[in-house]
Amino acid sequence: MDRVSVLEQEIADLRKMLHEKETELYQIKNGWVMRQLTTPVEPERQNYNNSGVQYSGNLPKWAIERYSRQILLPDIGVAGQEKLCKARVLIVGAGGLGCPASVYLAGSGVGEIGIVDYDTVDVTNIHRQILHYEKDEHVSKAESAAQTLRSINSRIKVTPYSIQLDSTNAMQIAANYDIILDCSDNVPTRYLLNDLSVMLKIPLISGSALQMEGQLTIYGYRANNNPKEMNGNYTGPCYRCVFPTPPPPEAVGSCSTNGVAGPIPGVIGALQALEAIKYIVGHSHSGLLVERMLLFDGDDTTFRTVKLRPRNSECAACSDTPSICQLLDYETVCKTQAKEKDLDLHILPPENRTLPTDLAGVLNKTDQRHLLIDVRSEPEFLMCRIDGAVNYPIEKIDGVLEKLVGEIEECDQVTFICRRGNDSQIAAKKVLDVIGEEHSRKIKDLTGGLHAWSKHVDRQFPVY
């Protein structure tokens, strides 16, 4: 074992020991803090302590000092800080949105934060997911986020849930919290969280970010617990009031496919935390993003708000006579998976698919005319590609299909490739549907895409 490997192992052992000690310290501190915040103050000591210092609430000395800058705000004050210290917030997604949102909630003193994420930290996350570091690669995102939040504020309770949230476990987890922050990146989870918030009668603060744009709003707001509301019967729209049916899967983008500038989810996540804080301290719906959606355009750095439709009296989820009374199988309803990394389409028959090692053998042959068609976007193609590949982006295939069929008919073999082996199947299927049967067997798709190529053939090929 060389010196580098020895040092890496020693550092890993030290980190493990440090993590265990930090966890022990956190548990001791947290138990002490919770007792301080939940133990009623004796009447004769309500206003003065043993040194003669006057207090107007139940906040201990350390809390006044630590949170003084926000206690000074008239909208928060001592009473608002006490509410923050007792609040319980569930954050679904420890990624680009969940990281900044949880940082500011932890910093503000929210008493309990739950973080749900099934994924592990990948190097491609770190440019925007600010709770994770290089040393956390392959570590559970929920655990990594929780550890960092405890280092920011050891006086709050942080509970990581390293699981895929679904209809079998969501109710049990979310029932322990007062607010849900939707920091997820897929449609099934959005509908799951909406129905969950409606059934539990707690608000859902929903954010999204993609490329250079972001959105933010609050669903499922109820006024009955807020004395500052003029209309105590007011209820805001839920997600289904605005989007009754899921969009087609092909119309939904993702950060891994379409990209995202790191500060964009940072902006939206920070604003999610702000809306949560405002809700906790008692702002009325007119001061919150209820029936309004905030739109952020990073290209020209502008914000605008659009009015959303009010609550639908016939909504399937939140009406007085709902048809959705229990959590559903949302992947089936939305016709797409909630775990993008597990997406593995099976469109083509086995005879039209090829393994990376087999493709490598074909590319080494000089007696065949082989056409290697890369259907990724142009930026991806320019970032890295297999030598000799030509670029026909999937979104432009329909417009060049006739030309492409002509080229294929002149070749001995054609292989479609993409990042994971999904878009390449779609493109190949479009060609197979229009090309003559005598050419169909020479059309192949690379199983597993360029990720599999990197794993089995060329480990120097970047995986992103």
Residue ranges of the domains in the chain?
87-341, 344-456
pLDDT category at 412 given cuts 50, 70, 90 is very high
| pLDDT over threshold 90, residue 321 | yes
Report pLDDT digits (tens) over 349-383: 999 999 999 999 999 888 889 999 999 999 999 99
Mean pLDDT of the region 399-422? 94
- How far apart, in whole angstroms, are the C-alpha atoms of residue 145 and residue 244? 33
Report pLDDT digits (tens) over 178-190: 999 999 989 999 9
Classify strands 390-391 and 443-446 as parallel, antiparallel or unpaired: unpaired
| pLDDT over threshold 80, residue 48 | no
Q: Is 238 a catalytic residue?
A: no
Mean pLDDT of the region 76-90? 97
Select from 328, 333, 347, 349 the least CA-distant residue to 170.
328
pLDDT category at 41 given cuts 50, 70, 90 is very low
| pLDDT over threshold 60, residue 40 | no
Query: pTM of the entire structure?
Result: 0.79
Q: How are strands ordered across the β-sheet holding 413-417?
A: 353-354, 443-446, 413-417, 370-374, 390-391
Mean pLDDT of the region 144-153? 96
Report pLDDT digits (tens) over 218-234: 999 999 878 889 888 99
Mean pLDDT of the region 109-132? 95
Which pLDDT value is given to residue 14?
85
Mean pLDDT of the region 77-96? 97
| pLDDT over threshold 50, residue 214 | yes
- Residues 238 and 315: beta-carbon distance below 8 Å: yes
| pLDDT over threshold 90, residue 281 | yes
Mean pLDDT in the chain? 91
Which pLDDT value is given to residue 360?
95
CATH number of 344-456: 3.40.250.10
| pLDDT over threshold 80, residue 132 | yes
- Residues 316 and 325: beta-carbon distance below 8 Å: no
| pLDDT over threshold 50, residue 240 | yes
Mean pLDDT of the region 150-162? 96
Report pLDDT digits (tens) over 61-74: 999 999 999 999 99
pLDDT category at 34 given cuts 50, 70, 90 is low
pLDDT category at 43 given cuts 50, 70, 90 is very low
Which pLDDT value is given to residue 429?
95
| pLDDT over threshold 90, residue 262 | yes
**87-341: CATH class:** alpha beta
DSSP 394-463: GGGGGGGHHHHHHHHHTSSEEEEE-SSSSHHHHHHHHHHTTS-HHHHTTEEEETTHHHHHHHHT-TTS--
Select from 234, 216, 360, 226 the least CA-distant residue to 289.
216
Mean pLDDT of the region 196-217? 97
Residue in 238, 255, 318, 334 annotated catalytic = 255
| pLDDT over threshold 90, residue 11 | no
- How far apart, in whole angstroms, are the C-alpha atoms of residue 32 and residue 63? 13
Classify strands 302-307 and 292-297 as parallel, antiparallel or unpaired: antiparallel
